[in-house]
Structure 1
Amino acid sequence: MNIRKIAIVDDDPNSRKNMKFRVEDSGFEPVIIEGTFGNNKKRLIDTILGLDLYGVVSDHHLSPGKMASFFGAELLADLYDNQIPNILITQFFDQDADTSIRKYRQKLPAVIGRGGSDDYDLIGNLLKMSEKEFKEGPSHERKPHRALIRIDNMQRSIGEGLIEGIITNWNSDVTVKFPTELIPKNVQSQMNRDKVNRLLAFVNTGAVDSRELYISDIHLAPSFEGIDGLD
């Protein structure tokens, strides 16, 4: 029986070694990706696509060890388009969830914190979940729905490339931050910095944890297109 291969993308030698053991214990053959790729994401993707792989496990921060200047999330988002099951691992899940991970979260079925579980089946189960999304579509927790995002104070909520708002049909008690660049420039130009802004977007409102949320296809709510009554 052929053992399926899993590529490991990580800039830290110790982390690569630890992940190698986890991949082996999950019943796969680990393939360590080595080298320096700078900002040449295409070369790294071509290297991965040239291998006979079942899936990819990647660290999020690839720059400290000078492996790549881009994030692992960006790499895996492109591999998602090639329908390669993948898992993103990060030591800074809480720190990056709203920023460099949320930017690509729609194409990241499985994101876990480093060392967060001793379950030897975890890698295999998460890769199967990722594969299932390609074959059957998103799960309840990952399926996008039209949602309303309320931004009470745009001036206050913008900082360090982030904006914060309340996704009212997900959890009206929780403020969610997301990269401002997810809002198209033409929409940003029409938003009022002194009043409540309401945006429509697609959000996976079945998510249990705010770190699992993704936001896409943002545009102005109808009230900003001449329909009164929301204020």
Structure 2
Amino acid sequence: MNVLDRPLRPGDPVAIIEDEAVNRRTTGWIVEEADFTPVPVARIPASLDELFAEIEDKAVAVLCDHRLGRGGSVSYYGAEVVAKSNRRKIPAVLLTSYANSDENSTIRRWRSDIPMLLSRGADSDPERLAEAFSLTEEECRGIYTEARKPYRVIVRVQDCRYGPEGVVAECVITAWQPRTTVDVPASMITERLDMPIDRLVGKRLSADVNIYAPTAGELYFRDFSMGPGVPAGW
């Protein structure tokens, strides 16, 4: 079943993808309190295709941790799982202890397909989970809240620096907050434009951005392209 067939219902099975047994157990309690049936994925496959085959066989929704590779055999992050699950119309929510530390890097890369990010602890309650699934279902149907709607805007690369997950582009989105820089993985830009990182600084680009996001952590970027040139006389 996918979300286009029918909405999630009480008792529906929700796959829990978490590599730590203690967190799988506590996450299962949250899922139960939200009136769903927890389906723990005890062994996380090395291949995403294998993981989705298991999910589609056992569950109709997904609740996933972000850092899944601590055992050494998994090369993908939970943000990728959640984003690709939502693209398949299987509602998925990201629940992680690393929301603040990873939101500008490995989460930002997939944020356009992650309607709601939950922080373990602060958001570890059934009401927040139910809200997250509801928002995710709506987006799977193409219905966006104002804070999540994409707009084609100019993104200026002010600087680049090395971060924990590679080179980060410090970007200014005038249509959002013109005096604030937002970190974006530089590879998200260079892989779209076939441009070396050392040529990014000063470039005016065009991208889809949810400019009504209330915080920088909730911003997403997709479909980068070269923006218009600088007007004469600037």
TM-score, normalisation: structure 2: 0.87
CA contact (8 A) 2:192 2:223 kept: no
Does residue 19 of structure 2 align to residue 11 of structure 1? yes
Structure 1 unmatched ranges of 5 or more: none
CA positional deviation for 1:136: 4.3
| 1:36 shift after superposition | 3.9
Alignment partner of 1:181 is 2:166: no
SS of 1:183's equivalent?
A: helix
Q: Deviations over 1:147-197 (max 9, x none)?
A: 1112234xxx23222111111100112110111111144735388849632
CA positional deviation for 1:119: 3.9
CA contact (8 A) 2:155 2:173 kept: yes
Aligned match of 2:216 = 210
Letter in 2 for 1:5: P
Q: Does 1:126 align with 2:129?
A: no
Equivalent in the alignment of 1:21: 29
CA pair 173-32 structure 1, distance change in 2 beyond 3 A: same
Is 1:43 equivalent to 2:44 in the alignment?
A: no
Q: Which residue of the other structure, out of 159, 164, 167, is the alignment partner of 1:161?
A: 167
CA drift at 1:133: 1.3
TM, length-normalised to structure 1:
0.88
Given residue 50 of structure 1, which amino acid in structure 2 is its aligned partner?
A: D
Name the CA distance, whole Å, in 2 between partners of 1:17 and 1:194.
Answer: 45
Secondary structure of 1:88's counterpart equals strand
Give the partner amino acid of 2:76: F
Confirm or deny that 1:61 pairs with 2:64: no
What is the identity percentage for the equivalent residue pairs of Structure 1 and Structure 2? 27
Moved over 6 A (4+): none
Question: What is the aligned-residue RMSD (CA, Å)?
Answer: 2.2
- Indicate conservation of the 8 Å contact 1:86/1:110, yes or no: no
Q: Which runs of 5+ in 2 are unaligned?
A: 1-8
Question: Which whole-Å CA distance do the structure 1 matches of 2:40 and 2:50 have between them?
Answer: 16
Partner of 2:205: 199
Number of equivalences: 223
1:31 aligned partner? 39
